[in-house]
Amino acid sequence: MAAFVVGAIVAGDRAGLPTVQRFADDWEREDFADMYAQISPEAAKRYPLSEFTDAYGKAQQTATVRAVATGEVSESDSGGTRVATLPVSFDTNAFGRVSGQIRLPLAGDRVAWSPSLVFPGLSPKQRLVRRTRAPERAPILARDGTPLAEGPATARSSPLGAAAQGAAGEVSPPSPEQDQEMTELGFPPGAPTGTSGLELAFNRRLAGRPGGKLVAAGGAKATGPPSVIAASRPVPGTPVHSTIDPGLQRAAAAALGGQYGGVAALDADDGSVLALAGIAFSGPQPPGSTFKVITTTAALDAGLVKLTDEFPIQTSTVVGGREVANAHNESCGGSFAEAFAESCNSVFVPLGPKIGSQRLVGTAERYGFNSPPSLFDDQALKALSPPVSTIPTSIPDDVELGVTAIGQGEVLATPLELASVAQTVANGGVRSPTALVRDRALQPAATPVRVTSPETAATLRGLMVRVVTSGTGIAAALPGIQVAGKTGTAELGPKALEAGASQSGATVEQNVDAWFTGFAPASQPKLVAAAMVVNASGDGGTVAAPIVQQVLAAGLGAG
């Protein structure tokens, strides 16, 4: 705020200036209650505090004021009326700096206030009006320049059609909080704004700056056009250049189809996001057995298992006094490599307590759990507020450790997170930031994280290859290209029984989420993809693996 300066105060006709000084200083601080205390009794009788405060609030909102600064006061006598001239300057969002003078009539040592004194350029009974000119909303572009979203806020479109929405997001009527924010910037109330995806994350950048005119309207002698107090030209928004690959984006959206879920595809080398469909980063769900990649990482790093370790073949296991069954009550076991390929719960559940809470949680957090996804800079991340994939920070109970080890319990993840897990394995144990923008200034500040050793990553790669060649993920196989992956089927609870049906003597059918995450070619990874289908019609191997297979095929040119 600018300092308020006055000359030496003398007796007689300058006795009112200390009140004006306080009035001006209060305005800079937006202390409207104390400003009101400096107005004359006659003005206070006519205008209650609520009306006084509302007058300033409406004027500053109309002018999109960010800050007020006042200057040195001078006084004059106009026809026997003492008047203090107050220079005032406003920093505004839509009109830049607007400066002028306000002539404050004095009644004794108080300001003879009226509503036209809230802004320079207003005559008695005039009000401040903003006539907005909307800027051109900037496009969101794919990595090759193809628009993911373009056109005015009222009619965004893309050559990719609806397939682009998973990454670009939507422009629609604002929430009350957004409406207030955008109105303060100069946009008309209710103007469409970014409400999801990149449209929301970079809404301010894409929206541009509105322009138009600030005019003094009305008044007792209003016969001609309103007088213009300030004017500005709208400034178009700035494009956002994303990392999205148009072909993969189409493929991901097509593979997901009408199913409720999400698909994410990443570059295997640098982790950049190549496709996002559905709720790929916005709908965390229990990850099921895809989490066994993390459990295996922790167990291998701690030396708790070797690939050749043998486990009993059984249909269930008991941990902490609770029985946990294998999927479909199947019998499985054998070597650890076989147990991983068959996603054998009876082998993995006991690993949870052996690994322990600190080691299991720590490994998950190195993979990215309990941290926001590194999509872009902190400001855009805060605007979007994407959900975080989570694991409890402490799991002291053996039962909970057991079910966490198989991706149940309180673990939640997104397809983007599970794609990042697979990318870490493909990248020799180093997790890369999952950048979604190519503009250098907008990229995430995150740096690569060493999650596990190259040796453990190589072991995991071999285990994941076996899942696709002879285990639960054979539906992800590609002709001539070796795929590495992991299935997951998360149980959400029993399905509602039909009327008259009985649970007696029968296994209750579960609602499930179907998962698959993987990469290819396994020996020289280029592309990573993960898919999730909520309330799926089948397990991860039959529902999610074919989705990832289609995305990998499209990205690698496999027929």
Whether residue 472 sits in one domain with residue 327: yes
CATH number at 207 reads 3.90.1310
Concatenated DSSP letters for 467-530?
Answer: HHHHSTTGGG-BTTB--EEEEEEEEEEEPPPPTT---TTSPPPEEEEEEEEEEESSSS--EEEE
Whether residue 320 sits in one domain with residue 258: yes
Whether residue 258 sits in one domain with residue 204: no
How far, in Å, CA of 457 to CA of 421, rounded? 11
Give the E-state strand segments of 305-425 in sequence order: 310-314, 316-319, 322-325, 332-335
The verdict on residue 416 lying in a domain is yes
Q: Choose among 297, 299, 292: nearest CA to 354.
A: 299
Residues catalogued as catalytic = 289
Q: Are 499 and 520 in contact (CB under 8 A)?
A: no
Domain stop point among 224, 241, 258: 241
Mean pLDDT of 296-317: 95
Whether residue 216 sits in one domain with residue 162: yes
Whether residue 523 sits in one domain with residue 381: yes
Measured between alpha carbons, how far is residue 400 from residues 199, 350, 412, 538 in Å?
Answer: 39, 11, 14, 25
3-state SS string for 227-284:
EEEEEECCECCCCEEECCCHHHHHHHHHHHCCCCEEEEEEECCCCCEEEEEECCCCCC
How far, in Å, CA of 46 to CA of 61, rounded? 24
CATH number at 363 reads 3.40.710.10
How far, in Å, CA of 236 to CA of 187, rounded? 13
How far, in Å, CA of 51 to CA of 44, rounded? 10
The verdict on residue 128 lying in a domain is no
Whether residue 399 sits in one domain with residue 313: yes
pLDDT tens-digit series, residues 190-235: 999 999 999 999 999 999 999 999 999 886 555 567 789 999 999 9
pLDDT tens-digit series, residues 446-499: 899 999 999 999 999 999 999 999 999 999 999 999 999 999 999 887 765 444
Q: Are 457 and 300 in contact (CB under 8 A)?
A: no
Whether residue 88 sits in one domain with residue 161: no
* The two structure tokens encoding residue 125: 């009974």
Whether residue 179 sits in one domain with residue 63: no
- What is the enclosing helix (H) or strand (E) of 456? helix 454-470
pLDDT tens-digit series, residues 94-137: 999 999 999 999 998 899 999 999 999 999 889 999 999 999 99
Whether residue 170 sits in one domain with residue 26: no
Mean pLDDT of 296-318: 95
pLDDT of residue 13 exceeding 60, the answer is: no
* pLDDT for residue 104: 93
CATH number at 109 reads 3.10.450.100
pLDDT tens-digit series, residues 331-379: 999 999 999 999 999 999 999 999 999 999 999 999 999 999 999 999 9
Domain stop point among 241, 260, 278: 241
Q: Are 376 and 244 in contact (CB under 8 A)?
A: no
How far, in Å, CA of 139 to CA of 156, rounded? 9
The verdict on residue 12 lying in a domain is no
DSSP tag of 432: P
pLDDT tens-digit series, residues 397-422: 999 999 999 999 999 999 999 999 99
Q: Are 260 and 423 in contact (CB under 8 A)?
A: no
* pLDDT for residue 501: 47
Can you say whether the dihedral through the CA atoms of 326, 327, 333, 337 is positive or negative?
negative
Whether residue 333 sits in one domain with residue 407: yes
Q: Which of 205-219, 264-278, 484-498, 507-521 has the weakest average pLDDT? A: 484-498
Whether residue 261 sits in one domain with residue 237: no
The verdict on residue 306 lying in a domain is yes
The verdict on residue 69 lying in a domain is yes
The verdict on residue 125 lying in a domain is no
pLDDT of residue 505 exceeding 70, the answer is: no
Supply the range of the domain harboring residue 545.
246-494+507-556
* pLDDT for residue 510: 76
The verdict on residue 155 lying in a domain is yes
pLDDT of residue 30 exceeding 50, the answer is: yes
What integer best gives the mean pLDDT of the chain?
91
Q: Cβ–Cβ contacts within 10 Å for residue 171, how many?
A: 26
pLDDT of residue 5 exceeding 50, the answer is: no
* pLDDT for residue 76: 79
* The two structure tokens encoding residue 368: 């990215």
pLDDT tens-digit series, residues 284-293: 999 999 999 9
How far, in Å, CA of 524 to CA of 237, rounded? 40
Whether residue 230 sits in one domain with residue 273: no
For the chain, the domain total comes to 3
The verdict on residue 251 lying in a domain is yes
